[in-house]
């Protein structure tokens, strides 16, 4: 949960462009709206104010929170917690820690996330999901700057900057009585509103090219070109799932594209017919393999309904089924899936279907 401070890797000379490293990934902002936002975020980062980041899912709230931490004076860790991931019973112990015996199963004392973020930044994602009783406790911690572990009375001073994020309208939650107004004011000292991708269309192509580079490198394959038609489609699409959706679409296109070129048919966008093994013009005459083609087109139809998690699972299923169907022959599997052997090997390693050792090189030479 902790992270090291992030370094600025690349600052493009043009003030209209910025790419800042965030761990292995960069924060890409090109649209004028995004650049104005970036300047605002960097001013906020220098203060020690609590920040509330608002935006639809997948707009980059966590990346921005990390950037705020990286640009701040704080040298402690960045700790990210998703408030929606814990049951009402657990969340208090997670945030504030507990002593041994504080509740059934608490055999040892444990520090909570506030203590873990000492001297750094605590990122509370989905803060709107906090139960009302916890909201009162969080407010007290923010006012008194100390936590009391469950099962203890001893206050522990904490020096933590809070960055909270929400993809629901907290003001509406306040009006509906689901979120406390006093906490809302405490969190919302410095608001950051991340617009959806459809409102900063100047970011779309830089993000596409960035993810093509990023995943080509990770897949250890050559960077494919993007056809004009694919470019138009990516630019015109509304991206309801924002940058997370764009990232998945590009990643998938890299897996299925052929001849070093991403075509419109490689884009997994709702409403677009995907090229399947049957519809794609073959590079070489394929062996008849109806069973696999059926699996493949069926899975692709399912992919239109994906969440990132389902997408990962389906990809794993696809590669596992194809590899088994082709009796673990990499040449045949790559041909049947219509991808290069480099990409196939990357995926097989990713899903643990082959070992990540030099040994398979011998098998490859033998065409297995």
Ligand X SMILES: Nc1ncnc2c1ncn2[C@@H]1O[C@H](COP(=O)(O)OP(=O)(O)OP(=O)(O)O)[C@@H](O)[C@H]1O
DSSP 153-201: --EEE---EEEEEESS-HHHHHHTTSS-HHHHHHHTTEEEE---GGG-G
Q: Given the complex with ligand X, which of 147 and 170 has the nearer CB atom? A: 170
Cα torsion angle, 301, 223, 217, 346, sign? positive
Task: Based on the shown chain and the rule CB under 6 A, indicate whether residue 31 belongs to the binding site for ligand X.
Answer: no
Task: Based on the shown chain and the rule CB under 6 A, indicate whether residue 128 belongs to the binding site for ligand X.
Answer: no
Task: Based on the shown chain and the rule CB under 6 A, indicate whether residue 312 belongs to the binding site for ligand X.
Answer: no
Binder to ligand X among 167, 258, 297, 320 (CB under 6 A)?
167
Whether 255 contacts 300, CB under 8 Å: no
Of 9-17, 53-61, 114-122, 170-178, which segment contacts ligand X by CB under 6 A?
Answer: 53-61
CB count within 10 Å of CB 354 equals: 19
Give the start-end residues of each E strand in the chain: 18-22, 25-29, 51-54, 78-82, 121-125, 146-148, 155-157, 161-166, 190-193, 225-226, 261-262
Q: Given the complex with ligand X, which of 25 and 341 has the nearer CB atom? A: 25
Q: Given the complex with ligand X, which of 162 and 334 has the nearer CB atom? A: 162
Of 36-44, 51-59, 255-263, 335-343, which segment contacts ligand X by CB under 6 A?
Answer: 51-59
Binder to ligand X among 58, 112, 128, 224 (CB under 6 A)?
58
Question: Total number of residues binding ligand X (CB under 6 A)?
Answer: 19
Of 61-69, 98-106, 143-151, 230-238, which segment contacts ligand X by CB under 6 A?
Answer: 61-69
- Residue closest to ligand X (Cβ): 60
| Residue span 217-246 as binding mask against ligand X, x where in contact by CB under 6 A, dash where not | --------------------------xx--
Cα-based torsion angle of the residue sequence 193, 196, 198, 201 in order, rounded to the nearest 10 degrees: 60
Q: Report d(CA 206, CA 237) in Å as an integer.
A: 15
Residues near ligand X (CB under 6 A): 25-29, 55, 57-63, 125, 167, 207, 243-244, 247
């Amino acid at each position: 949960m902790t992270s090291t401070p992030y370094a600025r890797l690349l600052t493009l000379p043009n003030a209209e462009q910025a790419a800042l490293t965030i761990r292995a990934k960069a924060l890409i902002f090109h649209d004028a709206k995004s650049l104005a936002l970036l300047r605002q975020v960097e001013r906020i980062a220098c203060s020690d104010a609590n920040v509330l980041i608002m935006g639809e899912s997948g707009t980059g709230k966590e990346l921005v929170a990390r950037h705020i931490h990286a640009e701040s004076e704080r040298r402690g860790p960045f700790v990210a917690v998703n408030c929606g991931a814990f049951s009402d019973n657990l969340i208090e112990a997670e945030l504030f820690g507990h002593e041994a015996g504080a509740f059934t199963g608490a055999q040892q004392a444990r520090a909570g996330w506030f203590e873990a973020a000492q001297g750094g930044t605590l990122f509370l994602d989905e803060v709107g999901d906090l139960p009302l009783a916890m909201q009162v406790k969080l407010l007290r911690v923010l006012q008194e700057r100390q936590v009391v572990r469950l099962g203890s009375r001893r206050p522990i001073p904490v020096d933590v900057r809070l960055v909270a994020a929400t993809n629901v309208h907290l003001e509406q939650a306040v009006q509906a009585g689901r979120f406390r107004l006093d906490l809302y004011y405490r969190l919302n000292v410095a608001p950051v509103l991340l617009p959806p991708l459809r409102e900063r269309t100047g970011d779309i192509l830089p993000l596409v090219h960035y993810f093509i580079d990023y995943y080509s490198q990770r897949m250890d394959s050559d960077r494919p070109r993007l056809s004009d038609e694919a470019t138009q489609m990516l630019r015109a699409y509304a991206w309801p799932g924002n940058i997370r959706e764009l990232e998945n679409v590009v990643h998938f296109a890299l897996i299925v594209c052929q001849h070093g070129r991403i075509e419109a048919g490689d884009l997994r966008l709702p409403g677009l017919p995907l090229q399947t093994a049957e519809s794609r013009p073959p590079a070489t005459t394929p062996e008849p393999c109806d069973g696999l083609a059926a699996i493949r087109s069926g899975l692709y139809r399912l992919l239109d309904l994906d969440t990132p998690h389902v997408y990962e699972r389906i990809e794993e299923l696809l590669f596992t089924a194809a590899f088994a169907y082709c009796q673990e022959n990499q040449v045949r599997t790559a041909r049947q899936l219509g991808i290069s052997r480099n990409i196939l090997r990357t995926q097989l390693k990713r899903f643990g279907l082959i070992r990540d050792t030099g040994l398979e090189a011998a098998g490859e030479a033998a065409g297995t």
